[in-house]
Amino acid sequence: MAERVAEVSAEHGADLIVLSWSQDTTPGRALVIREVLGASTLPVMLLPVTRTAHPLVRAPNEPVRVSPPANETR
């Protein structure tokens, strides 16, 4: 994945790579973040995402809860 991030960055003449992440660095998590940070020749900005900011970001072993869109009723 880090190679593809580098390719796309070069194709677009990027000066900075910005990635969002769940702030979870437990083993087996944040692999793309680790790869990009280790391989990038460009500066990398990490934007922390909280569970309240994005419904798909969750703690390990936390069940996924899917809610209907706000304008949809049951």
pLDDT in tens, 23-51: 887 888 888 899 999 989 999 999 888 76
pTM (2 d.p.): 0.61
Alpha helices, DSSP H, located in 1-74: 2-11, 31-39
Of all residues in the chain, the percent with pLDDT exceeding 70 is 68
Of all residues in the chain, the percent with pLDDT exceeding 90 is 30
Residue 11 has pLDDT above 70, yes or no: yes
What pLDDT is stored for residue 52 in this prediction? 61
Residue 58 has pLDDT above 80, yes or no: no
> CB atoms < 10 A from the CB of 33, how many?
20
For the chain, strand residue ranges (E) read 17-21, 44-48
